[in-house]
Structure 1
Amino acid sequence: MTNSLDAGSGTTATQPAAKVETPLKKKAQRSPRAKVEPRPPARKNAPNAASQAQQIPAAAVRTGRKIYSENERAQMLALIQKSISGGATHKSAVKQAGISEQTYYQWKRAALPASVGDDLKDLVALEEENKRLKSLLAERLRKENAELKRKLELE
């Protein structure tokens, strides 16, 4: 007695069906370049991911590091300097501020010439102001001295 499903294959119910082996597919070899440059994953919900990438400005792309403004840098440097003057070590003060020691020294080196230049400009301006005031004072004293001499000679 044969099974209705096995009738077409020519096997009986008592004999097991022979397994048909499928040939193994060879994997396509990747080029060395493909290993070096991984492709970004395709987005399923975006109709055209390439057009969206062009619309996003370069400044909006978020990198792995934080970029601080000049004002934030100055505030952090002042905070670190205050901590150091309070007795903390450089390492602990920088760690408390949330930046690396290398970043601290780079910021300090970059900020130093600007502040020295401003101090130097201020010092030069003060010296010029001092010279001007001294000359005004000397001129007034000369006039006053000449006036006193005239009054003493007349009396």
Structure 2
Amino acid sequence: MADPKEDESAQIPTEVPATVEAAVTKKKAPRAKAAKAQPERPARKAVAKPVPATTDASTTVRKARRVYSEKERGQLLGQIEKSIGRGESVKNATSRAGISEQTYYQWKKSAAPASDGGDLKDLLALEEENARLKKLLADRLRKENAELKKKLGL
């Protein structure tokens, strides 16, 4: 006779449910990369544009780049420093002088180390004056001390 347990095992399905197979076999398709919005533009070339003979107030013409001498730079820096000292903003002071803020800061940075030599001379002059004043004070104190000794009879 056939064993009842064998009959049950023969009836057990060996297939996997369809939902599990479908989940395993489905794969996501790779996304297509989006194209750039704007194509790259070629680099600009530095070409001087001719200045038109007549200039209207509506058209703005860029001035040619000007090279300033060290003396002119110093004068403009001084002018801007005075304006800033009066309470004017850096932006207004530099535009009034006819240069950009970046140019002002670059000039200021390059001019700062040049003044170090003058600082050393000033320091030496102050040290000499300090030594002279110390000698003068010591002489006065000696005179006072001598007068006090005479008065006290020492």
TM superposition score normalised by structure 2: 0.46
User: How does the TM-score come out when normalised to structure 1?
Assistant: 0.46
